[in-house]
Structure 1
Amino acid sequence: MKKIVSVFCALLFFASAAQAAEKIVLGVTPFPAQEIAAVAAGVLEKQGYEVEIKEFTDFIQPNLALADGSLDANFFQHLPYLENMRSEKNLDIVPLVKVHLLPIGIYSHKVKSIAEVGERAVVAVPNDPTNGFRAYKLLEREGLLKMKDGINLTARDIVENPKKLKIIELEAPQLPRTLRDTTISVINMNFAVDAGLDPSKDALALEDKDSPYAVVLACRGEDKDSPKIKALAAALNSPEVKKFITEELASKGVLPAF
């Protein structure tokens, strides 16, 4: 009888432990963060964590949701963007680990190479400070513009524009829709892929693998040492995630950053 009671108590203990599994609410943007997060969620679920992935379609709400406690962490942004948002919005959000590189690229439905970009061509770029900087530096690398030194570059910081390009600055998610009206558009990879573009085939130019803009996991400063956040960071830097990025996403231009 004592043995039966002991077994019954053990079953109750394990059932209670399963019910008490900690939940992690993780905010992401679409491809590839959502897919990478899903692989990490599988790793975490084997460790007893329940992972809820919330998808956002812009670059602002995931940080606001993290700051107000709606999320435990988010995974969508590179470090310069995080630093800018943290300063601008006075947010207590900190980076934890780098996960992948998501190169920004130049795309077109009208020309097949950078050399074909002609006089007074229309060029669309992101209007947020860090992605705008990336876009202008990529255009400069490709010989289309010469920019001032510094950060947070805008069209006002162009010092040489030999082809008299017409620059249009727009919200990053809108850029794929501009391709029918522009000569070239500089588009973040996740929005390019969502629009059916293949960066490895369709981009006229891409940031290279040495770009400093790796996408990072972020959380509130007060939570950075909590066990579940540490487990999340380890899962996003796990062999499973690295294998997934290398085997499934590399052909689309996504690279592991760890």
Structure 2
Amino acid sequence: MKKLGFILAASALALAACGSGEESGSEGTGGEASKDIKLGATAGPYSDMLSKAIVPGLEEKGYTVELVEFSDYIQPNVALDGGDIDANLFQHTIYLENFEKENGMDLSALITVPTAPMGLYSNQYDSLEAIEDGATIAIPNDPVNGARALLMLQDEGLVELDPEAEVLQASERDVITNEKNLEFQPIEAGQLPRAVDGSDLAAVPGNFAIAAEMDLLDALALENMPDQYRNVVAVNAENEDSELAKDLVEIVESAEFEAVIDEEFEGFGKPEWMAE
């Protein structure tokens, strides 16, 4: 934790050094909230989602938007907590809640957005039915993504998990039926795209698949993820009732937003509220 604290402090100082003299989203003359805002995301599909599906709606509402891209999963929340950006899009609910707790922050998820699902990829098999007994499968070695992989395998009928297990924390020891005798190979999530060549199967999180220029629709199966694993638009908790927050929700709930998702983000799993 001391090391993390140092990283957070350094990140905050770096962000403060490159910020402007006037905080984005601050009140302008007459006490009105400024419409000059900054939105943050990690480089890749969620930065694209902001620029293609959210920023145009904000600009129609009179906002001037600067998009800030980050290269890690720490700085976007440091920047949001420190007021250097006004909202971010890069993380799912579980990550957000854990990050808040571990770092003494108070951030709020406004709304869940379509998210790139984990997929089951193979260069060895062209269908789930073709999977042979004893096949090797690379899965993420971290608890959150490892549980997602096992839930996907259960949904596809390849394994059965202990019904008493906490589904969002499931691990290999919770597998009670493995009829194909799959041999699990836990590795770091970022290495899973390469594991498609080295294993019979690989469960690859969507963000890493896209970063490796894999086609989500090439997967033998795509995860039907719980909403807790879908990414959210987040703001500082003190701003969750702000006009910007309301406008962000309105834009994401619009038909125009969904049309862009359908055209530009094929394979992304939609949250439950979009299916209602």
TM class by smaller structure: 0.7 to 0.9
Give the Cα–Cα distance (whole angstroms) in 1 for the partners of residues 112 and 261 of structure 2.
13
3-state secondary structure, aligned to 2:210: helix
Moved more, 63-72 or 222-231: 63-72
Q: Match of 1:119, SS? A: coil
Query: What are the ranges of 5 or more consecutive residues in structure 2 without an aligned counterpart?
Result: 1-28
Partner residue, 2:187: 170
SS at the partner of 2:113? Answer: strand
Q: Is the 8 A contact 2:116 2:267 kept in 1?
A: no
Following TM superposition, by how much is the alpha carbon of 1:244 offset from its aligned partner in structure 2, in angstroms? 0.6
- Helix, strand or coil at the partner of 1:139: helix
Supply the distance in 1 between the matched residues of 2:74 and 2:176 (Cα, whole angstroms).
30
Match of 1:97 in 2: 111
- The CA deviation at 1:245 is 0.9
Q: Larger relative contact order (C-alpha < 8 A, sep ≥ 6)?
A: 1
Q: Determine helix, strand or coil for the equivalent of 1:109.
A: coil
Q: Indicate the residue corresponding to 1:54 in structure 2.
A: 68
Which one-letter code corresponds to 2:130 in the other structure? E
Runs of 4+ in 1 over 6 A off after TM superposition: none
Matched, 1:107 2:129: no
Cα distance in 2, alignment partners of residues 113 and 27 from structure 1: 38
Q: Do 2:137 and 2:185's aligned partners in 1 also have CA atoms closer than 8 Å? A: yes
Give the match for residue 207 of structure 1.
Answer: 223
RMSD of aligned alpha carbons: 2.8
- Contact 1:109/1:179 (CA < 8 Å) preserved in 2? yes
Q: Is the 8 A contact 1:21 1:50 kept in 2?
A: no
Q: Is the 8 A contact 1:36 1:241 kept in 2?
A: no
2:81 is equivalent to residue 67 of structure 1: yes
Q: 2:232 maps to which residue? A: 216
Aligned to 2:93: 79
Is the Cα contact below 8 Å between 1:103 and 1:254 reproduced in 2? yes
Residue 247 of structure 1 is matched in structure 2 by 263
The equivalent of 2:19 in structure 1 is none
AA matched with 2:117: P
- Percent identity reads 38
Aligned with 2:199: secondary structure? coil
Contact 2:114 2:268 in 1 (8 A): no
TM norm structure 2: 0.73
Tell me by how many angstroms 1:220 deviates. 1.7
Structure 2 distance, partners of 1:120, 1:173, is: 24
CA distance in 1, matches of 2:143, 2:183: 19
Output aligned runs, 1:2-151, within 5 Å: 22-38=35-51, 39-148=53-162, 149-150=165-166, 151=168
The answer as to whether partners of 2:161 and 2:175 remain within 8 angstroms in 1 is yes
CA apart distance, 1:117: 2.6
1:205, distance to aligned residue in structure 2 (A): 0.7
The answer to whether the Cα contact below 8 Å between 1:99 and 1:237 also exists between their aligned partners in 2 is: no
SS in 2 for 1:179: helix
Alpha-carbon distance in 2 for matches of 1:107, 1:41: 33
Unaligned runs of 5+ in 1: 1-15
| Cα distance in 1, alignment partners of residues 189 and 82 from structure 2 | 24
Q: 1:252 aligns to what SS in structure 2?
A: coil
